[in-house]
Amino acid sequence: MSISKEDAQAYWKENIKIIFSYLVVWFAVSFGCGILFIEELNSIDFFGFQLGFWFAQQGSIFVFCGLIIAYAASMNKLDQKYDVHE
Amino acid sequence: METQDILNFTFIGASFALYIGIAIWARAGSTKEFYVAGGGVHPIANGMATAADWMSAASFISLAGIISFMGRDGAAYLMGWTGGYVMLAMLLAPYLRKFGKFTVPDFVGDRYYSNFARVIAVICTIIISFTYVAGQMRGVGIVFSRFLGVGINEGVVLGMAIVFFYAVLGGMKGITYTQVAQYVVLILAYTVPALFLSFQITGHILPQTGLGATLADGQSVLATINSLSTELGLKEYTAGGKSTLDMFFVTAALMCGTAGLPHVIVRFFTVPTVKDARTSAGWALAFIAILYTAVPGVAAFGKLNLINTVNGPENTGVAYTAMPEWFKTWEESGLIGWSDLNGDGKVQYAAGKAFAGKGKPAFGEGRNANGSRVTTNAASGKFDATKQPFANEVYVDRDIMVLANPEIAQLPGWVIALVAAGAVAAALSTAAGLLLVISTAIAHDLMKKTINPKITEKQEMMYARLAAVGAILVAGYFGINPPGFVAIVVALAFGLAASSFFPVIVMGIFSTRMNKEGAIAGMIVGIGSTMAYIVYFKFMGGTKDELFMGISPEGFGTVGMILNFIVAFIVSSMTPPPPVQIQELVESIRIPRGAGDAHAH
């Protein structure tokens, strides 16, 4: 392995932070908006949908796609920063 | 032969010729090509292949129907089967790619330095994959029998022959490139009728926005379905039936199960680098989302069409003799059944079961005077007059929503043929991916890694092909004689994956301290509790009141997973840490660089 132990640990820490922040969004749109707070959100009209219903059946999926794309971009940047890219 | 039959044969035949052509072009020469396509698949191609691998006969044929009948609660499937990819992309795929071996049991066995752990993983892999594959073969049989006019059994055999050809010859390489073609076929087959349907009903081309559109009556699509449902004594479409806790657990089990399914994970071993593994997960989900975001629209439009056709514009029922052609075609296939409970000659759809027992019709010999099929298990015809105007008289199988949609919407014949080819593509691509996982588990994990490490690459390849042949035969047998467990594939496959692989792999990556004692104890407790719960409630007649906190069997995988985590941490804290070289292995899979080298053993 070409990188030092300290760098490897710092890289891993930042990686965990990135994952955690994206998973917070992931949880919020699916379990939060789509399940736990669906009734509250349903009182809001969103282009003809009840907002909670929309998150549960479509919105969360769009956000999931965006999350993976953003995560891949963040990680590419992090890999460059620590010079561990391929 | 009618024009429609010719179209069906042409579309399905042409798609088969394409798959076989690709299989011959992409034959596998080495075990590495056979198991992971040589690790050189482009991330976009891998994304498409993953999407085709993932979207099974259940996604293509049944999902819209499930949502149609469940309404809002169906969201557990939509979110569960897509949200899992977020976890897969962030928590598993990149590290497993860096690890650079062929299979999930490989990782479990090496990371936990234990052949016992490896064997548990092999057994789980085989149970999950067989449960899953039997359903696919059945799906192929049903589509063939409906669209090609052959029996279900002949259809299954034909499907086996095609899969045999490209899975046994081509291995992962053949499968991957065939799946790319199958993705294109299945996504066209799903979206084309969905676009037509959305435009007919709402004037919006995209079903995603059409679902929110306002109809001629001034109400939105969803509000219209809600009011029609209420008139008929059905639950409002946008109202939830499951408890919030149950929804939470079912969704979580489907998500973690998705992330832990061996045939999905193995797809990320086929790309060249760690970076590609992440990107590829994004492509895969994007390709999947094209279909999944169209599903809620298809489900709602299908429901609207169904109520309107069966009950007529007045919502009071339509005479059987005036029913459109598709109603009678699907009655012939047994997916629709009608019993004129009140004897008025009209078909009427409302809340309740039209037939006794499980609610499915049992057909007798001959015809009624009006030409409908005789059924022998009509329900009592009692209904609550304060809630609905008449008793329900029709059984509508949920699979109809997708398969009959083009006919219901009176779309041109080629669209119907396209849907048939798409359904077959969805079933075959998933079946092939699963069969490969089974054959790899047997040849690589069991023969090479556990029983006899001395076998040569050539012998291992032969075992892999033999295992693939054996797996196809068993899968075909299950397709023709579906055992009881096929019906509970969702609970079983996802529950097992969520309670075994998902926690064990995540702990293997994110904890250097986790040792073999902890992992093995966790897996045994996770699998054991989940299996016991599912078997008790699905086979031994457990009743609803006995459910643990009201969690349905489909959601118990989440409980099993939590138990797995807890037990693993307790046991591992009381036993010695893993050897130094294992801790170094964990450190190394966390750093992307060097994935290519790791692959060339």
State the pLDDT at residue B570: 97
pTM (predicted TM-score): 0.92
Query: Residue A16 pLDDT > 90, yes or no?
Result: yes
Inter-chain contact A48–B286, Cβ cutoff 8 Å? no
User: How many angstroms separate the most distant Cα atoms in chain B?
Assistant: 80
State the pLDDT at residue B404: 86
Inter-chain contact B590–A30, Cβ cutoff 8 Å? no
Confidence of residue B600 (pLDDT cuts 50, 70, 90): very low
Mean pLDDT of chain B: 89
Query: Tokens representing B171?
Result: 């291995």
- B residues 131-150 near A, CB within 8 Å? none
Q: Is B219 on the interface with A (CB under 8 A)?
A: no
Inter-chain contact B90–A47, Cβ cutoff 8 Å? no
Q: What is the average pLDDT across B424-453?
A: 88
Query: Residue B417 pLDDT > 70, yes or no?
Result: yes
Mean pLDDT of chain A: 92
What are the residues facing B103 on neighbouring strands? none
Structure confidence by residue, pLDDT tens digits, B326-346:
898 888 888 899 999 888 889
Q: What is the average pLDDT across B439-468?
A: 87
Query: Residue B385 pLDDT > 80, yes or no?
Result: yes
Q: What is the average pLDDT across B165-182?
A: 86
Check if the beta carbon of residue B507 is closer than 8 Å to that of residue B499.
no
CB burial of residue A44 (10 Å; 0-12, 13-18, 19+):
exposed
Decide the pairing of beta strands A49-50 and B363-367: unpaired
For residue A84, which residues of chain B lie inside 8 Å, CB to CB? Answer: 591-593
A48, A64, A75 member nearest B213 (Cβ): A48
For residue B240, which residues of chain A lie inside 8 Å, CB to CB? Answer: 38
Query: Residue B597 pLDDT > 60, yes or no?
Result: no
ipTM exceeding 0.90? yes
Q: Is B586 on the interface with A (CB under 8 A)?
A: no
- φ and ψ of B93, to 5 deg: -55, -50
Higher pLDDT, B415 or B37: B415
Cα–Cα distances in Å, from B80 out to B48, B84, B446? 19, 6, 31
Report which residue type is found at B5: D
Q: Is B244 on the interface with A (CB under 8 A)?
A: yes
State the pLDDT at residue B247: 94
Of all residues in chain A, what percent carry a pLDDT higher than 70?
A: 98
Structure confidence by residue, pLDDT tens digits, B234-268:
999 998 888 999 999 999 999 999 999 999 999 88
Q: Is B518 on the interface with A (CB under 8 A)?
A: no
Query: Tokens representing B518?
Result: 């902890």
Inter-chain contact B79–A30, Cβ cutoff 8 Å? yes
Query: Residue B168 pLDDT > 50, yes or no?
Result: yes
Inter-chain contact A62–B275, Cβ cutoff 8 Å? no
For residue B82, which residues of chain A lie inside 8 Å, CB to CB? Answer: 60-61, 64
Confidence of residue B598 (pLDDT cuts 50, 70, 90): very low
Q: Is B40 on the interface with A (CB under 8 A)?
A: no
For residue A76, which residues of chain B lie inside 8 Å, CB to CB? Answer: 275
- CA B281/CA B274 separation, integer angstroms: 11
Check if the beta carbon of residue B386 is closer than 8 Å to that of residue B366.
no
Three-state SS at B338: strand
Terminal alpha carbon distance of chain A: 13
Inter-chain contact A1–B591, Cβ cutoff 8 Å? yes
State the pLDDT at residue B596: 57
State the pLDDT at residue B601: 38
Higher pLDDT, B51 or B165: B51
For residue A35, which residues of chain B lie inside 8 Å, CB to CB? Answer: 75, 244, 247-248, 251
Confidence of residue A2 (pLDDT cuts 50, 70, 90): low
**Inter-chain Cβ pairs, chain A and chain B, closer than 8 A:** 144
State the pLDDT at residue A29: 96
Q: Give the closest-approach CA distance of A57 to chain B in angstroms.
A: 5
Q: What angle do CA B86, B124, B499 make, to 5 degrees?
A: 50
Residue among B79, B201, B268 with most chain A CBs within 10 A, to mutate: B79
Phi/psi region, residue B588 (left: phi>0; alpha: psi -120 to 50; beta: rest), is alpha
A53, A61, A71 member nearest B82 (Cβ): A61
Of all residues in chain B, what percent carry a pLDDT higher than 70?
A: 98
Confidence of residue B109 (pLDDT cuts 50, 70, 90): very high
- CA B31/CA B100 separation, integer angstroms: 14
Structure confidence by residue, pLDDT tens digits, B479-531:
888 766 656 677 788 999 999 999 999 999 999 999 999 999 999 999 999 99
Q: What is the average pLDDT across B37-53?
A: 89
Residue in A27, A24, A23, A21 with CA at minimum distance from that of residue A60: A27
B75, B94, B591 member nearest A34 (Cβ): B75
Structure confidence by residue, pLDDT tens digits, B522-570:
999 999 999 999 889 888 888 888 888 889 989 999 999 999 999 999 9
- CA A86/CA B234 separation, integer angstroms: 57
For residue A12, which residues of chain B lie inside 8 Å, CB to CB? Answer: 590
Inter-chain contact A19–B592, Cβ cutoff 8 Å? no
